[in-house]
Chain A
Amino acid sequence: MSSRREILDLLRENARYTTEDIARLTDFSESEVAEIIEEFEEAGVIRGYQAVVDWNAVETDEERVRATVELNVTLDRETSYDDISDRIAKFPEVTSLRLVSGDYDFDLEVEGDSMREVSHFISDKIAPIPEITQTVTHYIMESYKEQGMEFDDHDDDDRLSVSP
């Protein structure tokens, strides 16, 4: 019997599967699938649906610059990680923000139209936040895999077309 979790797996695999597709791939009926997805959305389990884009393959002059930034912070009695993350996450330039273990505290991802824009954002908006003691910015030079998808040329199916 299929589980509700399986619907999440399928949407993570391809968010464009229709409810009809998902019903055919599981033991749920189409209306059950629609209902479960709605419940996931309302409960905040599913937060959104996005395309995985290989910007290098986009034929346009527009540049998309991304960087990951290591942030070190100091906490005091009045300031928690959540207080700091609230302030940072509000910026639209910030595409992801995670608290991590190890040498630094926050792992930040920033996106902009140019290196200049991203650099200014870090120096003007992030670095001046009083609790932040250090930033280390890494510009992303090449992306090989995003959200589970490899960015290589599609492997041709080299199996024999008919085999026993």
Chain B
Amino acid sequence: MTLEPATRVDSVPPSGIRRFFELAEEMDDIISLGVGEPDFSAPWAAREAAIASLERGQTSYTANRGKRELRERIADYEAATHGLQYDPDEEILVTAGASEGLDLAFRALLNPGDTVAIAQPCYVSYVPGATFAGVDVVDVPTRAEDEFKLTRDVLESAGAADADALVYCYPNNPTGATMTGDEIAEVAAFCRENDLVVFADEIYADLTYEHDHTSIASLPGMRERTVVFNGFSKAFAMTGFRLGYAMAPPEAIEAMNRIHQYSMLSAPTTAQYAAIEALDNCREEVTEMTAQYDRRRKYVLTRFDEMGIDCFPAAGAFYAFPECPWDDADEFAEALLQEKRVAVVPGSAFGAGGTGHLRVSYATGLSDLKEAMARIESFIE
């Protein structure tokens, strides 16, 4: 026996973002629009609550499912903001980021050989997560002409009707696409008709700029077949705290907790104290950050329009997903980085449907954003 990767690991290639990251890291003075996390620090009150908990010596494990105080607040928050009703004792699991939650769901709720339809382009962990769990993946590429929304037609064309589960994320990373209540209802109907369970990644739910977010679990007949994932990373700018949560009916949470209690034991304790404070007292900061993102979004979309770059009006998260002015987006992104010191990520790094596009993150201060857009403009001239 030698220490070599197992076949299920070997079959998953390293993230497509990795190569870009390495290129960018070697350079000084780059302006990066390639970052998938807020440029703001976590709200000071949340940071201070974390510090205070450390000073009080609150450094032990918590309950597997997370501190009850936190689960209660999550239940209240989700009820107030997204109309979701989950019982803090049986239907909420606090995880180390939403990513852990998704990994748990793949392993705890699907069997090897089951099929999961994954709406793409998408966050880089979904396909590998399914693969590690031995689950087969059906790519569901969304289309530029639909503004990267998930539609019945897109699902049917991809053969998602035969899948056991559907994974999607709206507001979307990498496209910034959002879906209205009616559009989500169409997806819900498809899932009910074809008996699919849904893993809905709603990590960007509070970062919408044109219309409110609709959670699929709030629609009739969906709660019992849906796991909702959310967390504190994006809206509360707490990525490094590594704190998320999953919400689902008791049997599903029980199954996920079965893995969680052995692999993670409990989500980081310090982060849980920070999250309690975030939900109690940091909503105003979230509103302010959201207002800032919205201004930058308008700025970026206006600038692309001025440059003659085709970009649909992305209305969520903190990404724009313009069509690449060159045929080869990978080549474009690399040349832009080398010649103008601006990092963007080619859409192909996010799976099917992303080819020919660029992910441009506006989670960057306005002065850098202005300079980066000016450099892109001079680059394409």
- Residues of chain A touching chain B, judged by Cβ–Cβ distance below 8 Å, are 6, 9-10, 14, 21, 23-27, 155, 157, 159-164
Contact = CB atoms under 8 A, between A and B. Distances in A.
Contact of B299 (A6, A25, A155, A157): A25
B124 interface: yes
B34 A162 contact: yes
A59 B349 CA distance: 49
Q: Kindly list the 10 A-B residue pairs having the minimum CB-CB distance in the complex, ordered from nearest.
A: A162-B34, A162-B21, A161-B24, A25-B295, A164-B124, A24-B302, A161-B32, A163-B36, A24-B299, A162-B20
Contacts of B24: 161-162
A164 B125 contact: yes
A14 B298 CA distance: 17
A162 B20 CA distance: 7
B21 A161 contact: yes
Contact of A24 (B34, B291, B303): B303
B281 interface: no
Interface of B: 15, 17, 20-21, 24-25, 30, 32, 34-37, 39, 41, 123-125, 173, 291, 295-296, 298-299, 302-303, 343, 345, 349, 366, 370
Given A161-B30, A163-B21, A25 B39 contact: no
A162 B35 contact: yes
Contacts of B39: 157, 159
24 contacts: A9-B291, A21-B370, A25-B296, A25-B299, A25-B366, A26-B295, A26-B298, A27-B298, A157-B39, A159-B35, A160-B25, A161-B21, A161-B32, A161-B34, A162-B24, A162-B25, A162-B343, A162-B345, A163-B17, A163-B21, A164-B15, A164-B36, A164-B123, A164-B349
Given A6-B295, A24-B299, A157-B39, 10 more contacts: A24-B298, A26-B295, A161-B34, A161-B343, A162-B20, A162-B21, A162-B24, A162-B35, A164-B15, A164-B124
B313 to A, nearest CB: 12
Given A24-B298, A27-B298, A164 B17 contact: yes
Query: In the complex, which of the residues A25, A160, A161, A164 has the most CB atoms of chain B within 10 Å of its own CB atom?
Result: A164
A164 B15 CA distance: 9
Instruction: Choose among A10, A27, A157 the residue with the greatest number of B CB atoms under 10 Å from its CB.
Output: A157
